[in-house]
């Protein structure tokens, strides 16, 4: 696997956080094309395009991030949150349960446990 462009990743994240979604998406596209196995880039792309209203594609990007790094609680938690926002309750519950199973004592595990109280 090629080395990820950390400056490019930081720039894409900064654009996403600032609400410059088109610019962030362009950055994440470059990153995922250069290093298709970079879970962080797929995660960032999913968060970005969810904010652009591209819900189905966003879920697919987040699923790809989780597929690449299934033990990353942040990625699984965010996938669960997006499932919940879209009314995909069974999928959301399963994702939150996965986060708790990975590490119930972490910040993400606690947040997922709180989310599970709604199911």
Q: What are the residue boundaries of the structural domains of the chain, listed by start?
A: 1-63, 70-119
pLDDT tens, residue by residue, 5-54:
899 999 999 999 999 999 999 999 999 999 999 999 999 999 999 999 99
Contacts of 66-71 with C-beta under 8 Å, sequence gap 24+, read 66/39, 68/37, 68/38, 68/39, 68/42, 69/39, 71/102
Q: Which CATH number fits domain 1-63: 1.10.1200.10, 3.30.70.100, 3.40.50.720, 1.25.40.10?
A: 1.25.40.10
d(CA 39, CA 78) in angstroms, rounded, equals: 13
Percent of the chain with pLDDT over 70: 98
């Amino acid at each position: 696997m090629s080395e990820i462009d950390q400056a490019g990743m930081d720039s894409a994240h900064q654009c996403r956080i600032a609400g410059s979604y088109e610019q962030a998406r362009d950055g994440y596209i470059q990153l995922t094309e250069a290093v298709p196995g970079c879970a962080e880039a797929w995660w960032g792309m999913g968060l970005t395009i969810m904010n652009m209203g591209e819900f189905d594609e966003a879920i697919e990007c987040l699923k790809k991030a989780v597929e690449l790094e299934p033990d990353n609680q942040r990625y699984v938690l965010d996938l669960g949150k997006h499932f919940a926002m879209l009314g995909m309750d069974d999928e959301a519950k399963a994702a939150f349960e996965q986060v708790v199973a990975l590490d119930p004592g972490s910040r993400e595990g606690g947040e997922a446990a709180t989310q599970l109280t709604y199911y």
